[in-house]
Amino acid sequence: MKTIKGPGIFLAQFLSDEPPFNSLESICQWAKSLGYIGVQIPSWDARCIDLKKAAESKTYAQEVKGLVESCGLQITELSTHLQGQLVAVHPAYDDLFDGFAPEAYRKNPASRQAWAVQQLKYAAFASRNLGLSAHASFSGALLWPTFYPWPQRPAGLVDTGFQELGKRWKPILDVFDENGVDLCYEIHPGEDLHDGVTYERFLEEVDQHPRACLLYDPSHFVLQQLDYLTYIDFYHQRIRAFHVKDAEFNPTGKQGVYGGYQPWIDRAGRFRSLGDGQVDFKSIFSKLTQYDFSGWAVLEWECCIKHPQDGAREGSEFIKNHIIRVTEKAFDDFAATGSDEAFNRSVLGIK
């Protein structure tokens, strides 16, 4: 078994134009002051990194890595959640998702998609140049508007959607493979990969690609009422990244999983700061450790109640207290009698 690394923190929700959140160096110093030892970097934010430059210049990549390390931290992974979303967008969401791309690619879905694909390929090269082994992203979605089967889906629609999704991602996955990096999809509502069934369907379309891995985030499973512990039993061999995020689900006679179009504060299912929700993190850390997960435990802070800086401060200690330092010996070694092959055969009555 291996000891999970951490605590790490995803910087996306904290970056702003106000110090200390307005530059990579200052936000890293802030994270270190809270007890974090790793940072997950959003690759779309120029305050943190120039993704294209990191892909094309090993020197620049090492400068970014050196800056982070000078603050006493390590880079856990790069993230392309926004760019990954744009690899596959249903036309119903074109206007809403245009904001994820630079202005030059908006109102042009084909151009926007090509930009996103290139961004993912840059991320593979940049991750290699930074010495990283895993990368975090979204799958995007062509089928999401039809996730509830009313009106009735046309025959073959889901097959066509997953075939196209696999066709778009397979070349990207190949680039990640060439660079020795696992591409970890965050299984998430709004993505075509939003549970185990859809992930398995995707794997079929990309020929069980060895780099088509998973970012495990139990909060999204609480909101779907999916068994997030058994999920680890099913998919532990593919889990290569871990977002530590809490959530709660409190259905009433008026609302359930779908939330009634309400704001987060009023929904039955909502994200919470670590320790304030319902996720059984003791069991999660135990299972991941049992299955030899050796990646990072990274806080992704999202909460509609608590201040983000309080959530970040509490989250560092929460993760630290849940990481299990693995044992190097069996607990009953004190009672060992010693053995060799002859003794074992004698115990079993074998001549």
Q: Hey, where are the domains in the chain? A: 5-347
Least confident of 73-82, 235-244, 301-310, 333-342: 333-342
Domain 5-347 homologous superfamily, CATH: Divalent-metal-dependent TIM barrel enzymes (3.20.20.150)
**DSSP per-residue codes, 219-256:** HHHHHHT--HHHHHHHHTTTEEEEEE-EEEE---SS--
Average pLDDT, the chain: 96
Instruction: Write the CA distances from 128 to 45, 160, 318, 342, integer angstroms.
Output: 19, 33, 30, 51
**What's the pLDDT score for residue 335?**
60
- Residue that has been written with the tokens 């704001």 in this structure: 263
Cα 208–Cα 211–Cα 216 angle in degrees, nearest 5: 100
- Average of per-residue pLDDT across 49-53: 98
How much of the chain exceeds pLDDT 70, in percent? 98
Per-residue confidence (pLDDT) for residue 336, from 0 to 100: 72
Q: Give the pLDDT of residue 351.
A: 78
Give pLDDT tens digits for 157-206: 999 999 999 999 999 999 999 999 999 999 999 999 999 999 999 999 99
Neighbours of 290 (CB within 10 A): 14
